[in-house]
Amino acid sequence: MQFWSQLLIVLVLAGCSAKGDTPSEQRNSILQMRQETLSALYGQKPAIRQEVSRAKGYAVFSNLNNNLFLLSAGSGYGVLRDNRTGRDTYMKMATAGFGVGLGIKQFKALIIFNETAALDRFITSGFDAGAQADLAAKAADDGKVVVSEAANADFQRVKVYQLTEQGLAAQATLQGYKYWPDDDLNGK
């Protein structure tokens, strides 16, 4: 079991940071990831463009999630855009959970904040917990993007879309997510 725990830790850490050697390169990589993710979503569901433009803010994250029997963990990075001010905040994220699952998947997430209170709460506490169940199978070169909407208790206030990029996973987990500002990329 120790081997599997160590493997899970290595896989989680692989998704922790954006590409690039300098903060400037990493910020550019994250902004490119955001643009590519939004373009892919708009291509699959054009109505999302209007949702994003009407929102108080939105965040786009790149995540690598691993499920190993009863444990699920993941990490990633992204950027939050406050539509009220036009300001970007670069962020990190981690996820952990438990439940039945096996596999690994890489995905992008778009989180849309429809109310000021929900956006402010995300900026200050950045935490969400919930249950999720999914089956993802995607090869790196099949040219299709799997778009799924994630429901939560605040569905009218916060809406989440996921693009599964590649991987194979079957899971039913209780999952917690933590998001926080990346001080290195925000110049603090």
pLDDT, greater one: 165 or 63: 63
Reported as a pLDDT band with limits 50, 70 and 90, residue 178 is: confident
pLDDT, greater one: 25 or 149: 25
**Residues 159-177, mean pLDDT to the nearest whole number:** 68
Which pLDDT belongs to residue 111?
92
> How far apart (Å, rounded) are the C-alpha atoms in residues 167 and 163?
11
Reported as a pLDDT band with limits 50, 70 and 90, residue 164 is: confident
Among residues 104, 79, 98, 103, the alpha carbon closest in space to that of 89 is found at 79
Which pLDDT belongs to residue 70?
73
Which pLDDT belongs to residue 176?
77
Three-state DSSP class for residue 26: helix
Instruction: Tell me the Cα Rg of the chain.
Output: 16
Reported as a pLDDT band with limits 50, 70 and 90, residue 10 is: very low
> How far apart (Å, rounded) are the C-alpha atoms in residues 172 and 168?
14
For the record, the structure tokens of 182 come out as 């990346």
Among residues 16, 110, 127, 7, the alpha carbon closest in space to that of 67 is found at 7
Residue 140 has pLDDT above 50, yes or no: no
Three-state DSSP class for residue 6: helix
In this predicted model, what pLDDT tens digit does every residue of 74-121 receive, in sequence order?
889 999 999 999 999 999 998 877 776 666 767 888 999 999 988 988
